[in-house]
Structures are given as C-alpha cells and as structure tokens.
C-alpha cells in the first residue's frame, strides 16, 4: 500500500518511479515506505520551468573554499581537475542562475552535511551505531547523498520548480 502511494506521488509529478533512473524513490522505514525525490528528480522539476540558465552541484576540495563575500555567498576558487584529484573533499556547493539574471550559490561544509544526515536519516544514525555501511545509503554513497541534499536546499529555498513541462 505504501509503495503504491509512493508510485502515485511520482506519477503525479511526472517522474519515473524506476529506481534505476534515480528520479524518485520509495525509502523503507520499518513497516512503511516514504516517497523521496532523487537528485535527477529535483533537476527535472527545476528544468521544467524553463527559467534556468544554469544549475549545478559539485563537491568542494581542500584549498578551493576561500570564505564568503559581503552578502554571505561562498567564494570558491576552483582548482584544475588534475589538482583536485588527490585533495580531500571539505564540502559541497550548489549554484543556479535564472534566465532573468538571478544567481545564487550555497556551500555546506562536510560536517554540516553530516549533521543533516544524522538528524534526518534513521539509517545513517543506525550506521553510526553499528558501523555497517550496508545499513545506509548515506554511508555507502555519502557524496551522492550530500550533493542531492545541498541541491535540494538550494532549489527549495531560492529556485523555481514545476511538475508541468514548459
């Protein structure tokens, strides 16, 4: 019954409910399942508006984050791909630019992302207790989950989403 409800929510948003595609998921919680939009789903809902010139999410490596500007936006000086390869991930950024010129970039440190996971993910809390990575996607695929979370925070607060194709 819960999985059917999740499938109906995905259908109402015109998002494929196939886990192989990554648009929407049914996440199990004990005896129920909860609907969650995946990173591809958030990107799809944003792009459907026709209002985005650019949208991106990316990890930030040691030496790239330089603080914040006068309004609090992060200052990130990207290293070359070769320089980035062996540098530690220290955080995650998401940025958007709308066709009307509005721009917004957010940055979450790795510790802020971990605090978010501990607060909102039961499976991550279980992983922290047991040490078994199989217990949580947050543990086995931390970077992907972090990127989804930061992108969701950006779009939910500053972006535009639509379930209708433009």
pTM, rounded to two decimals:
0.85
pLDDT along the chain (166 residues), means of 10: 87 86 83 86 91 96 96 95 95 97 97 94 84 79 92 94 72
> Looking at the 3D structure of the chain, how many domains does it have?
2
Domain check: are 90 and 121 in the same one?
A: yes
Q: Which domain holds residue 6?
A: 1-37
- Are 126 and 139 spatial neighbours (Cβ–Cβ below 8 Å)? no
Identify the H or E element spanning 120: helix 110-120
Domain check: are 71 and 15 in the same one?
A: no
pLDDT for the residue numbered 135: 66
Domain check: are 10 and 70 in the same one?
A: no
Domain check: are 25 and 70 in the same one?
A: no
Q: For residue range 54-85, list pLDDT tens digits in order.
A: 999 999 999 999 999 999 999 999 999 999 99
Judge whether 83 lies within some domain.
yes
Judge whether 43 lies within some domain.
no
pLDDT for the residue numbered 147: 94
- How crowded is the C-beta side of 118, counted as CA atoms within 13 Å? 8
């Amino acid at each position: 019954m819960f999985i059917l409800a999740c499938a109906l929510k995905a259908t109402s948003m015109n998002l494929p409910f196939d886990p192989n595609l990554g648009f929407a998921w049914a996440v199990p919680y004990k005896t129920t399942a909860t609907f969650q939009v995946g990173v591809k789903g958030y990107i799809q809902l944003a792009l459907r508006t026709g209002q985005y010139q650019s949208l991106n999410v990316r990890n930030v490596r040691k030496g790239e984050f330089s603080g914040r500007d006068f309004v609090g936006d992060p200052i990130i000086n990207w290293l070359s791909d070769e320089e980035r390869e062996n540098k530690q991930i220290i955080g995650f950024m998401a940025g958007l630019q709308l066709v009307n010129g509005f721009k917004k970039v957010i940055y979450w440190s790795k510790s802020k992302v971990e605090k978010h996971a501990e607060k909102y993910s039961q499976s991550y809390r279980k992983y922290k207790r047991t040490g078994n990575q199989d217990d949580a996607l947050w543990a086995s695929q931390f970077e992907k989950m972090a990127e989804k979370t930061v992108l969701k925070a950006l779009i939910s607060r500053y972006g535009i989403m639509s379930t209708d194709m433009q």
